A = this chain, B = another copy of it.
Amino acid sequence: MNKQPTIILASGSPRRSALLKQIDIDFQVIPSTVHEDFNIDLKPIDFVKHYAKLKAIDVAQSNQESLIIGADTVVVLDGEIIGKPKDENDSKTILRKLSDRTHQVITGMALIWHQKDIDIIFHTETNVTFQKITDEQIQYYIDNYNPLDKAGSYGIQDWFAVCVNKIDGCYFNVMGFPLSKFYKHYLRILEELK
């Protein structure tokens, strides 16, 4: 829409790339080498903001002249972060816990551009309500998809969609990239540069 700066997505997530493409933004991908430590003592919102920033800074160090996007997404139930499942059994345990309940998906996002002294950090929270999921369905999902790779052990953009009764908030945030909130900040950055 406006002439855009060089943008780097500091995330290897193909879903995040797909979402950023969806809104006509050109970018490169340079995944950060930062890994979350789930033993760190931070509340979920502070956790995702902390890691979004670390990831962006990690890539910004050698890319001072680009706008870096760092993002971190977690699934939260009863105030506790649910990470990626350790194994198939853990995946079953997580999905049974989430069944018939509402949990939160929280993404932290950092927009860092050293050269222009831009340093923005924000978070977005979406409520996701699952219907009752049977053990047979959980087994089907584990056998046919790869929940071990996913925060909260599910992907809303695959078969698991049938288990999602409703969401309240930004849908794209559930996929790891809160598009409208990001875009508001992005337009503000373009405005400042004019």
- Using a CB–CB distance below 8 Å, which chain A residues touch chain B? 1, 19, 22-24, 131, 136-137, 140, 144, 156-159, 161-172, 179-180, 182-184
Q: For residue A22, which residues in chain B have a CB less than 8 angstroms away from its CB?
A: 157-159, 161
**Main SS at interface, chain A:** helix
Given contacts A1-B137, A1-B140, A171-B171, contact A180 B158 (CB under 8 A): no
Within the oligomer, what is the number of copies of this chain?
2
Which partner residue on chain B sits nearest A168 by CB separation? B168
Does B165 contact A183, Cβ atoms closer than 8 Å? no
Q: Which 6 A/B pairs are nearest by Cβ-Cβ distance?
A: A162-B183, A171-B171, A161-B179, A168-B168, A166-B169, A23-B162
Give chain B residues whose Cβ lies under 8 Å from the Cβ of A23: 159, 161-162
26 pairs of residues in contact across A and B, judged by CB atoms under 8 Å: A1-B136, A1-B137, A1-B140, A19-B161, A22-B158, A22-B159, A22-B161, A23-B161, A23-B162, A24-B144, A24-B159, A156-B171, A161-B172, A161-B179, A161-B180, A162-B180, A162-B182, A163-B180, A164-B170, A164-B171, A164-B179, A165-B170, A166-B168, A167-B167, A168-B168, A171-B171
